């Protein structure tokens, strides 16, 4: 099992550019999430999905889009990058039973810098 994979590991964008951060998991987990981590801010939820075709906003969704066409993949799109989106981005997945989700497995993270 590869677990949760994320690409790229590092990315530098100019203000206004768009890009997609890729996330995939091979554990057949229903729940998938995207977080950003800034110094002193912990992990803040951007968007999440409880299954293929279902997505919802988290705490800080503005400037980001997601889709979940398969159980395995959950890409995060930055529509028009801004310096405030400079951060480390983590994708995570978890097994669930009904509304109870278990521990999240995290990808290695993507360090994004917007200049």
Residues engaged in binding another protein (CB under 8 A): 31, 33, 35, 40-45, 48, 58-59, 90, 99-109
Judged by beta carbon, residue 56 or residue 80, the one nearer another protein is: 56
Shortest approach of another protein to residue 113 CB, angstroms? 18
Shortest approach of another protein to residue 34 CB, angstroms? 10
Judged by beta carbon, residue 28 or residue 97, the one nearer another protein is: 97
Shortest approach of another protein to residue 46 CB, angstroms? 10
Cβ–Cβ under 8 Å, residues 78 and 113: no
Residue with tokens 């983590």: 90
Judged by beta carbon, residue 57 or residue 115, the one nearer another protein is: 57
Q: How far apart are CA 112 and CA 115, in angstroms?
A: 10
DSSP character at residue 72: S
Report the candidate in 87, 83, 66 with the shortest Cα–Cα distance to residue 23.
Answer: 66
Question: How far is C-alpha 6 from the chain's CA centre?
Answer: 9
């Amino acid at each position: 099992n590869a677990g949760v994979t994320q690409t790229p590991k590092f990315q530098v964008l100019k203000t206004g550019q768009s890009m997609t951060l890729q996330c995939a998991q091979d554990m057949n987990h229903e729940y998938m999430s995207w977080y950003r981590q800034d110094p002193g801010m912990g992990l803040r939820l951007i968007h999440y999905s409880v299954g293929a075709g279902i997505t919802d906003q988290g705490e800080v969704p503005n400037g980001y889009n997601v889709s979940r066409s398969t159980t395995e993949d959950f890409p995060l799109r930055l529509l028009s990058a801004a310096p405030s989106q400079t951060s480390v981005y983590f994708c995570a997945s978890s097994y669930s039973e009904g509304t109870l989700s278990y521990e999240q497995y995290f990808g290695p993270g993507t360090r994004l810098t917007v200049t």
